[in-house]
A = this chain, B = another copy of it.
Amino acid sequence: GPRITFGPEDQGALQIDYKGQFQMTVRDTGSGSNNDDTTTNFNFRRNRLAFMGKYGDMLSLYVQTEFTEDANVGTLGVASTNQGTEFQLLDAVMRFKLNDMFHVNVGKFKYNLSRENLEACEMPLTLDRSLFIRAPYVTTRDTGVAVWGNLFNDIFQYRIDAMEGRKAVSGDTAPDSNFRYSFRAHVTLLDPEKDYGYKGTYLGQKKVLTIGGAYQFEPKVAYGDTVAQTGEKDYKAWTIDGFFEYPFEGIGTVTASAAYEDVDLDDAYKYSTNFDSGTVGLNGQKNGWYVKAGYMLPNLPLQFFGRYEKWRFAELNNIFDQKVDWYAAGANYYLRGQNLKLTFEFSHTNFDQEGVYSGIEGANLQSKDFNTFITQLQLIF
């Protein structure tokens, strides 16, 4: 979209962009009798308007809407009812740059745990970011304040944030109201990665080798027994991650990245049968890792990719101590770079234990292996 300047000496600027990821999904299960038939779906994965402003060198602004509509075909299966619509301000962050060693972000933006979550939504290497890596009680964004900066010729980056974490609620629901704190650092050895957001691939325009790690915690985040209001459980998570991308002359660009993440909710689910449901499930207590790799041809904007993930969940779909293996392979075709991109991805989701179980996450939840093929058209305008 256009970038409109204003103010004395054109100090101010506002850019308006549309960002859409439109998907056709074909999954081999989820519909029909016994949910054994193929499910087909057209939907947007992302559907956004972004307003990016700056005034002078110190102040910038990033405000972005997101519209989701009946995301019925999900990470673990196909829903039996329409999941409804949500239109929101996904990001709303005021950014103050005192100097490159000291930035302050205030508002709603991505918290500092995994590199994967901090990679730009429109520039992952594979079709999307990991489906399993989010922190508990928040989405991909949280609300608060971060300070960050680059030191030692941009080789070292630090980030510290204090965020809302679990939203403040009364003692009827949670044992306490505390902020959530994160600490993240990376060392980047070739071309620097010095922005707040990472990318999943630089399309061969950069040589990158970055090693990072983070720690996050929020005390007394959930009850082990929500009925008796006992069992004050803390949240702690840590992660390490690595990213490598290198354009080899005449051969093409090679990308490789991996991470491990551990999300600990103090074994709240073992405390009683009335444990807080947010301590389990997709974003509850878990640990796991991913590895992803890509190869982009030297003379054609075509990039092949693969991804493997292995996760262990405290409880998933009412199954305790569940393990999930996730495999994907596909290709990006960059018609106009990231601005117009076509992506194909085939993935296989494998549950260690299969079956239909009822419990704290709901009635009759099905865990059953499935394959998914997605075709995506991305437009950034």
Q: Which residues of A contact B (CB under 8 A)?
A: 1-6, 12-14, 16, 18, 20, 22, 24-25, 30-44, 47, 49, 51, 53, 55, 59, 61, 63, 65, 67, 69-70, 72-73, 77-82, 85-89, 92, 94, 106-108, 143-145, 162-164, 167-179, 229, 340, 377, 379, 381
Is A42 touching B80 in the complex (CB atoms < 8 A)?
no
Q: What residues on B are CB-neighbors of A164 within 8 Å?
A: 41-43
Main secondary structure of the interface of A (DSSP, over half): strand
Is B175 touching A42 in the complex (CB atoms < 8 A)?
no
Q: How far is the CA of A369 from the CA of B67 in the complex (A)?
A: 39
Known: A2-B6, A44-B143. 4 other contacts (CB 8 A): A42-B179, A67-B88, A82-B167, A85-B88
Q: How far is the CA of A381 from the CA of B63 in the complex (A)?
A: 11
Q: What residues on B are CB-neighbors of A106 within 8 Å?
A: 22, 377
Is A177 touching B5 in the complex (CB atoms < 8 A)?
no
Copy tally for this chain in the complex stands at 3
A38, A87, A164, A177: residue with the most chain B Cβ atoms closer than 10 Å = A177
Is A18 touching B81 in the complex (CB atoms < 8 A)?
no
Is A86 touching B85 in the complex (CB atoms < 8 A)?
yes
Q: How far is the CA of A282 from the CA of B214 in the complex (A)?
A: 45
Q: What residues on B are CB-neighbors of A35 within 8 Å?
A: 170-172
Name which residue of chain B comes closest to A339, CB basis: B55
Is A16 touching B18 in the complex (CB atoms < 8 A)?
no
Contact of A40 (CB < 8 Å), options: B81, B85, B94, B177: B177
**7 nearest interchain CB pairs?**
A2-B6, A31-B177, A80-B172, A41-B168, A67-B89, A2-B4, A80-B170
15 A–B contacts from the bound complex (CB under 8 Å): A14-B16, A20-B92, A20-B107, A31-B168, A33-B175, A35-B171, A39-B177, A43-B143, A49-B63, A55-B381, A65-B87, A67-B89, A69-B88, A85-B88, A87-B88
Q: How far is the CA of A340 from the CA of B53 in the complex (A)?
A: 14
A42, A72, A167: residue with the most chain B Cβ atoms closer than 10 Å = A42
Contact of A171 (CB < 8 Å), options: B31, B73, B174: B31
Q: How far is the CA of A12 from the CA of B59 in the complex (A)?
A: 27
Is A168 touching B73 in the complex (CB atoms < 8 A)?
yes
Q: What residues on B are CB-neighbors of A86 within 8 Å?
A: 85
Q: How far is the CA of A229 from the CA of B34 in the complex (A)?
A: 10
Is B61 touching A381 in the complex (CB atoms < 8 A)?
yes
